[in-house]
Chain A
């Protein structure tokens, strides 16, 4: 009888080929999700929580999340931005139930414990009891019962928060390349244009991969490629910070060469010369930056993308919702000094991005078809090798190097091994 031992066709005999592999179980096993909350989101990292422009005035607050943990971002009377866990120090109720607003202090509705905007406990009803009865114990110390505070720091109007006492300062965590590109986009006062929210039925890390992946953008997104908003043939780079946590991907649309690009893409589905727009005004933008860069995807570990696509500017925040879901919150903005024409350009170009975006709606489906295919798979691994399969910078856009960088950090923080 011939040998019929089943080989794992996913791992197969390709194990000698250079490339990076990620076990699919990290996207489905709750054990990893639990460790991510602890070691990444509650660990020695900085998560994006708000734009300063969302809480411009003292008393302004915004409810958001770090990982899955509910957090309130406030601007206190000292003018500084603070972040606290949205959980009452009494018996754990949500203190802040609205998405946003303005209040002189934070008050829990359950038993009306009141906190100042920095999270310090300032009032407990019936603290001394009523008619000599009840009341809190004599040694009750208000100072011990504030809301749990996070560290909060901002750069260029982007507010980050951390649960860690020991994490490096935000500037060091981000590194010079990320700071340079935050400051490039946040170069003057901004105006928030609104929010878009999208629930994707897939693991949050699939989106972290997606936003570090210049390889897919012209192959999945026909609109990008056909209209030359993004092509892998463009002049651009895919680079990381020194720790390879974060990824900067940028490209310059002026480098398009339609004839040569057509050859490069051959008969690819996504280079469609037949597709013409009836209303070309959608693509009539304005050059805003002297460097000619028309697309920036700055993926900041663990939960932020800062983006410029043509004249659209936005932050995208990832909120984890279990192993197989995450919410993506897009906050679009322009500059405070945008003239009427620029405002109109931005409004029209919002058609390009977000959950209904002509160049971005595909990413939700890309994440979901992976999640659906890897269900129940405990051993098989993905194979990441475009550009060499190592966490290396590239001065071109035919690489998956930054994805490997993400995973090397993940391995350090969470690990691939199971405890069971």
Chain B
């Protein structure tokens, strides 16, 4: 097998697995661990498609450090009041868009189902991740994760990361 193809498959696998863990930790409410998937000076952004496509920066969530991710989670646990709910992520295939010195850009479609306390499950948020992943260290980490969501109308509130 062509070595270049082999390397591409390896990177795609790393990115797929990182996204799977990201989804799993959020869905399983392991939110305290979730920031560990990011570098210290990461970007994490959740932005409506209608803003993203107009090149407008306004995001629902905008963090530019791992500390801000931690703060979001502490706020969720200690400060914020919101309906009882859980998430279930369904991920599409991850595609490596570009690669440079083990730093890759990838895209992954996602859907988040929300289940509320009454037991009903509904599509809460659907969109795509545009990720930048550093695969040069001992484990891959997000240097940037941008969730561009199609679901421009947010149902009640957004407190968990997407």
B118: nearest residue on chain A (CB-CB)?
Answer: A372
Residues in A whose Cβ lies below 8 Å from that of B58: 193-196, 332, 347, 350
Q: Is B139 an interface residue (CB 8 A)?
A: no
Q: Give chain A nearest CB distance to B125 CB in angstroms.
A: 11
Residues in B whose Cβ lies below 8 Å from that of A332: 58
Interface bits A345-385 vs B (CB < 8 Å: 1, else 0): 00110110011101001101110100000000000000000
Inter-chain contact B74/A368, CB cutoff 8 Å: no
Residues in B whose Cβ lies below 8 Å from that of A277: 67, 71
How far apart sit A16 and B48, CA to CA, in the bound complex (Å)?
Answer: 51
How far apart sit A289 and B111, CA to CA, in the bound complex (Å)?
Answer: 42
The residue that A196 contacts in the complex, of B63, B74, B154, B159, with Cβ under 8 A, is B154
Residues in A whose Cβ lies below 8 Å from that of B57: 193-194, 343, 347
Inter-chain contact B60/A197, CB cutoff 8 Å: no
Q: Is B98 an interface residue (CB 8 A)?
A: no
Inter-chain contact B68/A279, CB cutoff 8 Å: yes
| B131-152 at interface with A (beta carbon < 8 Å) | 152
How far apart sit A327 and B156, CA to CA, in the bound complex (Å)?
Answer: 9
The residue that B157 contacts in the complex, of A195, A197, A347, A365, with Cβ under 8 A, is A365
Q: Is A282 an interface residue (CB 8 A)?
A: yes
The residue that B78 contacts in the complex, of A220, A222, A282, with Cβ under 8 A, is A222
Inter-chain contact A350/B59, CB cutoff 8 Å: yes
Q: A194-B54, A226-B79 are in contact. Are A351 and B153 (CB under 8 A)?
A: no
Q: Is A144 an interface residue (CB 8 A)?
A: no
B158: nearest residue on chain A (CB-CB)?
Answer: A356
The residue that A198 contacts in the complex, of B67, B78, B154, with Cβ under 8 A, is B154
B68: nearest residue on chain A (CB-CB)?
Answer: A279
B78: nearest residue on chain A (CB-CB)?
Answer: A275
Inter-chain contact A223/B81, CB cutoff 8 Å: no
Residues in B whose Cβ lies below 8 Å from that of A351: 61-63, 68, 72
Grouping DSSP codes into helix (H, G, I), strand (E, B) and loop, the A interface class, with mixed when no group exceeds half, is mixed
Q: Is B36 an interface residue (CB 8 A)?
A: no
How far apart sit A260 and B79, CA to CA, in the bound complex (Å)?
Answer: 21
Q: Is B7 an interface residue (CB 8 A)?
A: no
Residues in B whose Cβ lies below 8 Å from that of A348: 62, 64
Inter-chain contact B68/A194, CB cutoff 8 Å: no
Q: A198-B157, A348-B64 are in contact. Are A193 and B56 (CB under 8 A)?
A: yes
Residues in A whose Cβ lies below 8 Å from that of B156: 198-201, 355, 364-365, 368
A275: nearest residue on chain B (CB-CB)?
Answer: B78
Inter-chain contact A362/B153, CB cutoff 8 Å: no
Q: Is A4 an interface residue (CB 8 A)?
A: no
Q: Give chain B nearest CB distance to A357 CB in angstroms.
A: 9
Q: Give chain B nearest CB distance to A73 CB in angstroms.
A: 17
Q: Is B32 an interface residue (CB 8 A)?
A: no
Q: Is B46 an interface residue (CB 8 A)?
A: yes
A348: nearest residue on chain B (CB-CB)?
Answer: B62
Q: Is A9 an interface residue (CB 8 A)?
A: no
Q: Give chain A nearest CB distance to B53 CB in angstroms.
A: 11
How far apart sit A193 and B58, CA to CA, in the bound complex (Å)?
Answer: 6
| A245-301 at interface with B (beta carbon < 8 Å) | 270, 272, 274-275, 277-279, 281-282
Q: Give chain B nearest CB distance to A56 CB in angstroms.
A: 13
The residue that B80 contacts in the complex, of A201, A279, A361, A368, with Cβ under 8 A, is A361
| B42-56 at interface with A (beta carbon < 8 Å) | 46, 48, 50-51, 54, 56
Inter-chain contact B59/A99, CB cutoff 8 Å: no
How far apart sit A358 and B72, CA to CA, in the bound complex (Å)?
Answer: 8
The residue that A194 contacts in the complex, of B56, B61, B63, with Cβ under 8 A, is B56
Q: Is B119 an interface residue (CB 8 A)?
A: no
Q: Is B155 an interface residue (CB 8 A)?
A: yes
Inter-chain contact B60/A368, CB cutoff 8 Å: no
Q: Is A182 an interface residue (CB 8 A)?
A: no
Interface bits A218-240 vs B (CB < 8 Å: 1, else 0): 00111100100000000000000
Q: Is A192 an interface residue (CB 8 A)?
A: yes
Residues in A whose Cβ lies below 8 Å from that of B59: 194, 347, 350
Residues in B whose Cβ lies below 8 Å from that of A364: 82, 156-157
Most chain B CB within 10 A, of A281, A327, A358, A366, is at A358
The residue that A355 contacts in the complex, of B51, B60, B65, with Cβ under 8 A, is B60
Q: A278-B70, A361-B158 are in contact. Are A195 and B50 (CB under 8 A)?
A: yes
Q: Is B75 an interface residue (CB 8 A)?
A: yes
Residues in A whose Cβ lies below 8 Å from that of B68: 278-279, 281-282, 351
How far apart sit A226 and B79, CA to CA, in the bound complex (Å)?
Answer: 9
Interface bits A302-336 vs B (CB < 8 Å: 1, else 0): 00000000000000000000000001000010000
Inter-chain contact B81/A199, CB cutoff 8 Å: no
Q: Which 8 A-B pairs have the closest CB atoms?
A: A194-B58, A279-B67, A278-B67, A194-B51, A194-B56, A356-B158, A222-B79, A361-B157
Known: A194-B50, A194-B58, A356-B61. 20 other contacts (CB 8 A): A99-B50, A193-B56, A195-B152, A198-B153, A198-B154, A198-B156, A221-B79, A278-B70, A282-B68, A282-B71, A347-B57, A347-B62, A350-B58, A355-B154, A356-B46, A358-B72, A358-B80, A361-B81, A364-B156, A366-B81
**17 A-B Cβ contacts within 8 A?**
A194-B59, A199-B153, A199-B155, A200-B156, A223-B75, A275-B75, A281-B65, A282-B68, A282-B71, A351-B61, A351-B62, A355-B157, A355-B158, A356-B60, A361-B80, A362-B157, A365-B157
